[in-house]
Structure 1
């Protein structure tokens, strides 16, 4: 079979299969470029089943580009809470603001303009242009590279940028005239449902008959991909500080700096333990647990002026980022008797006022904004369980707080 015959067969059979078997997904209700844009950003590194409820919530809260552009960032992050990879939400909102400023709130039918939006890379621009505007642009993600590598028996390493470029050029030649949107979605659908990474379902595959990997018994071997470097471990310890007086029933949290990992998200006070002290996280390291608790006490006192007293270990928790694994040990603490006078003074301050007071006073007893070692600003405040409904927390701290309060 010639290459052109194989291409024609692939495109025809795949498109027919998709139009009969495609899933009923909320972003497929119409071809609104904004809805497609939001869905594609949410779907990056995230399963469809996970995305669907978030998508419904997000679209109900921010139904238009302009509504997203004008929303407070904290509100957008809260709506994204639990979905992870929060830079996606920030970039999406930044892109929406660009659309409002440059294009009067209308996403343009122009590849260069769409590609210039914050957070929009080659795949996302291809998806928007093809699905929303039916332009014959490739939308090549991991699913697509896997499908085409197997069908055409491509042996190039898909982790290399040059391989992606080559597959994009190949994908363009496969797009049937007038059916770019459906075809690109069909490719993604096949990779997600049938031509899966570890256990491809070859028998129900609509293009199995001419799949080169299947013919040569290499469907489990392809695609070839260099393994990514394993994420490094970071040992951290956090405290749940219980309030007193007017802050009875509340706990102390802080907001991360405006830049960097998890920017502007809220979290429990915590610190990174030096790598040479990782043995402190052993269950048998009783003496070291005391040293770790002392470090935490010094951190909170230095940041806020409050003296804390460890009460008990609560839990250990792990969180995997793309390049880091946080190994977190969590303790419950209260305010020591030595800080009674400080507590009385602090009790006169409402938790909502604390970030404002931080800029107005340097009195030792106040929970205030403090500079960390990177000169980034941290904001501390007391919150109740109900306040969690307003503040965005990363998944790790969200799970810890839910475990504590439930």
Structure 2
């Protein structure tokens, strides 16, 4: 066993995370689901979502058989909904091509939607104990600092160097524990800001620690200004408390989710609302900003109480009046769900 892995595993035996819900049992489906959920999301946030997901869809076959609304409702609030759609599509392909199981070959796993080399390696290492390296964000940070690798890890040449280091450190024994250990080290000790180097088992050999470079490694992505968009969200609510929802299109942000009708701004909101229902009262709710990875969305919510459905605005697969009790079963963007959960009481 190499020195890096040996020291890391000794640290893991005393300080590693061994009670995460996807570790008991640590089968391929649960590992896969956790890895997809953990992309761009912290463990503390994922735990509750993971437990609710596997309670409702405990097996890959259950996931494949579920409808999209069920999957997106379980995912609602985790963001990056493309992950959920890829998960769902991959499960269906496993039924069609792999006998209802995730394949145990790297190339076959990577051929499934949403599974890259690192995710595939994590599944094979943690579920089956096979020797495959991983290189998620935490591991990139650990290895960039340990080896003193400068340059943004998202660049092809830098990532290629880090993959070489990831492979050379991955042991042939206790591979599942090692994989969890290096992720844990990056998540709890070798963190992005103010790493706890005094607690790190690799500090004595770490280039960044030796040369005082922990604040600058890994190199951050070259910055660019995030644009801002504005929108008015229309909350059309009838006397029974039902709210009009529309399913978003197949592309763009929140694609396929149920959301609220929109207008370009608050001034245009009454006219847009009148095309969908007869409205009487208008109430501007507190505005808020929702930040995506590539832009900021300034939202002005406008409440139209006592809205009466127009006969010409038909309900169907893309538009529906939804009672509060039915919202939990729908895939809703997190800010829309929050809006609906916190609506004021209907005025007389």
Deviations 1:112-134 (A, max 9, x none): 11111111012111111211122
8 Å contact 2:234–2:263 — kept in the other structure? no
Write the distance in 1 (CA, Å) between the matches of 2:274 and 2:282: 16
Task: Provide the residue aligned with 1:296 in structure 2.
Answer: 269
Which of 59, 63, 72 is the equivalent residue of 1:64? 59
* Cα offset, 1:308, TM superposition: 2.7
1:301-380 aligned within 5 A: 301-302=274-275, 304=276, 306-334=277-305, 343=308, 346=309, 365-368=311-314, 379-380=318-319
Contact 1:251 1:384 (8 Å CA) reproduced = yes
SS in 1 for 2:131: coil
Match of 1:382 among 321, 327, 339: 321
Correspondence for 2:6: 12
Higher relative contact order (Cα pairs below 8 Å, separated by 6+ residues): 2
Q: Which of 43-52 and 12-21 deviates more? A: 12-21
Asked if structure 2 preserves the Cα contact closer than 8 Å seen for 1:368 and 1:379, the reply is no
Contact 1:159 1:225 in 2 (8 A): no
Question: Which SS does the other structure have where 1:299 is aligned?
Answer: helix
Report the CA distance between 1:97 and its aligned residue. Answer: 0.5
Residue of 203, 208, 213 corresponding to 1:213: 208
Point out where structure 2 has 5 or more consecutive residues left out of the alignment. none
Distance 1:37 1:309 in 2: 50
CA positional deviation for 1:319: 1.1
Tell me if 1:38 matches 2:9: no
The secondary structure found in structure 1 opposite 2:199 is coil
Structure 2 partner of 1:279: none
Native 8 Å contact 1:11 1:174 kept in 2: yes
Does residue 402 of structure 1 match 2:348?
no
Q: State the shift of 1:151 in Å.
A: 1.0
1:51 matches 2:43: no
TM-score (norm 1): 0.80
Inter-partner Cα distance in structure 2 for 1:230 and 1:143: 25
Residue 235 (str. 1) matches residue 234 (str. 2):
no
- Deviates most, 98-107 or 229-238: 229-238
Report the 3-state secondary structure (helix = DSSP H, G, I; strand = E; otherwise coil) of the residue aligned with 1:236: strand
CA contact (8 A) 2:236 2:273 kept: no
Larger Rg: 1
Matched length: 344
CA contact (8 A) 2:189 2:195 kept: yes
User: Could you tell me whether the CA contact under 8 Å between 1:385 and 1:405 is conserved in 2?
Assistant: no
Change in CA separation of 1:309 and 1:238 when aligned onto 2, cut-off 3 Å: farther
**Kept in 1: contact 2:315–2:321 (CA 8 A):** no
Separation in 2 of the partners of 1:45 and 1:296?
A: 34
Q: CA deviation at 1:142?
A: 1.3
Structure 1 residue 310: Cα displacement: 4.8
Q: Give 3-state SS (helix, strand or coil) of 2:241's partner.
A: coil
Deviations 1:356-386 (A, max 9, x none): xxxxxxxx6332269xxxxxxx833222211
For the 8 Å contact 1:367–1:381, the answer to whether it is kept is no
Q: 1:251 aligns with which of 233, 243, 246?
A: 243
My pick for the range that moved more, 27-36 or 49-58, is 27-36
Is the 2:234–2:273 contact (alpha carbons within 8 Å) kept by the matching residues of 1? Answer: no
CA RMSD in angstroms, aligned pairs only = 2.0
Query: Any idea what SS the aligned residue of 2:282 has?
Result: strand
